[in-house]
């Protein structure tokens, strides 16, 4: 429910200042109970997409819910920009990241819009660069083993990488299987590099850039708990640069062009194909 309402807000179907339907109306629409409705609304409030009104009245869409210029959380910003990118007839997505977790989440909003007929691209081409499974990456690694001799965190990362990448491939290819998008191409390659940042290039005209920050946390793995130094991509903030006069002018155009050249240089040189099961 939160995903569906978020998609309506980010697409402009629910405009800034407009009220949501009542909890009863939402419960009927989504065939659920009011507890689930309140949880979905609370999620969107925490994301800054809704504002409370008090006295039990439905919340309103925040005035800043669209058209942000300040950097936002990666999943929210990427979902918004992907929705706009999918208005093009031929969509291209080039990605450099640690995993595709953020992209998987953000794509859900665009695929909902395609399923409803709101968006109708004729082709989608996605190219994704990920860290190679053979690389001795600097992160993640155990807090208790700064030398990185314990390979379990890397093994866990590689398993997550394959899981998310396979889910992304299936998510996009399903659009073709359902005859919603005539042409879909998804290709993964790996590079022996520890990502310190993430990049999304949309339609060759827009670049979203965010830094990974190293965090210390505990994760379960094969029945045990590990405390590791890791990075959190969904929490990263994305900075948007676009070609043309609409955003940052010549600076934006230069940033997008240079980022595209950087991506192509990796893709066409040391990158190796990633085979998914």
| Digit-coded pLDDT (tens) for 255-264 | 999 999 999 9
Domain's final residue, options 16, 34, 61: 61
Q: Check whether residue 152 and residue 223 sit in a common domain.
A: yes
Please state, rounded to an integer, the average pLDDT across all residues of the chain. Answer: 88
Tell me what pLDDT residue 254 has.
Answer: 92
DSSP E strands in 97-156: the ranges are 123-131, 141-142
Per-residue CA distances from 156 to 78, 129, 140, 180, 214 (Å): 25, 18, 9, 34, 17
Q: How many domains does the chain have?
A: 2
Classify residue 277 as exposed, middle or buried by CB count within 10 Å of its CB (0-12, 13-18, 19+): exposed
- The residue assigned the tokens 């997505």 is 93
Residue 234 scores a pLDDT above 90:
no
7 and 114 both lie in a single domain:
no
Same domain as 107, residue 50:
no
Range 12-25 average pLDDT: 86
Say whether pTM exceeds 0.85.
no
Query: For residue 221, how far is the Cα from the chain centroid?
Result: 24
Mean pLDDT, residues 224-244: 87
Domain shared by 16 and 76, yes or no: no
Specify the residue for token string 């953020």.
102
Q: Which of 61, 94, 111 is the last residue of a domain?
A: 61
H or E stretch at 228: strand 224-231
Answer whether residue 178 is part of any domain: yes
Q: How does 128-155 read in b/e, with b if 16+ C-beta sit within 10 Å?
A: bbbbbbeeebebbbbeeeeeeeeebbbe
Q: Is residue 66 part of a domain?
A: no
Position 245 scores a pLDDT of 47
- With H, G, I as helix, E, B as strand and everything else as coil, classify residue 130: strand
Say which CATH number the domain at 15 has: 1.10.10.10
Asked whether the beta carbons of 127 and 258 are under 8 A apart, the reply is: no
Distance CA 18, CA 8 (A): 12
Domain annotation covers residue 172: yes
The residue segments making up the domain with residue 29 are: 2-61
| Of 238, 216, 247, 252, nearest in space to 96 by CA | 238
pLDDT recorded at residue 233: 81
3-state secondary structure (DSSP) of residue 271? coil
pLDDT band at 17 (very low <50, low <70, confident <90, very high): confident
- What would the pLDDT profile of 127-180 be if each residue is shown by its tens digit? 999 999 778 899 999 999 888 889 999 999 999 999 999 999 999 999 999 999
How confident is the model over 20-79, as pLDDT tens digits?
A: 999 999 999 999 998 999 888 888 887 678 887 555 678 888 876 554 456 788 888 999
Are 56 and 90 within one domain? no
């Amino acid at each position: 429910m939160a995903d569906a309402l978020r998609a309506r807000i980010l697409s402009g179907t629910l405009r800034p200042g407009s009220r949501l339907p009542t909890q009863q109306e939402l419960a009927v629409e989504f065939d659920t109970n009011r507890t689930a409705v309140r949880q979905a609304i609370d999620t969107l409030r925490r994301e800054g997409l809704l504002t409370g009104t008090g006295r039990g009245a439905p919340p309103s869409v925040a005035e800043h819910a669209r058209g942000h210029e300040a950097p936002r959380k990666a999943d929210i910003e990427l979902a918004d920009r992907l929705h706009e990118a999918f208005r093009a007839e031929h969509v291209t997505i080039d990605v450099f990241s640690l995993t595709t977790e953020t992209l998987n989440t953000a794509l859900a909003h665009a695929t909902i819009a395609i399923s409803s007929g709101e968006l109708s691209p004729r082709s989608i081409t996605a190219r994704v660069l990920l860290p190679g499974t053979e690389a001795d990456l600097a992160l993640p690694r155990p807090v208790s083993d700064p030398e990185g001799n314990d390979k379990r965190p890397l093994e866990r990362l590689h398993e997550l990488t394959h899981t998310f990448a396979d889910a992304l491939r299936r998510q996009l290819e399903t659009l073709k299987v359902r005859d919603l998008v005539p042409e879909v191409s998804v290709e993964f390659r790996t590079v022996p590099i520890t990502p310190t940042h993430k990049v999304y290039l949309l339609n060759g005209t827009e670049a979203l850039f965010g830094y990974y920050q190293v965090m210390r946390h505990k994760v379960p793995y094969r029945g045990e708990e590990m405390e590791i130094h890791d990075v959190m991509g969904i929490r990263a903030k994305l900075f948007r640069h676009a070609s043309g006069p609409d955003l940052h002018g010549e600076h934006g155009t230069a940033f997008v062009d240079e980022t595209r050249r950087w991506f192509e240089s990796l893709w066409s040189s040391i990158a190796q194909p990633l085979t998914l099961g």
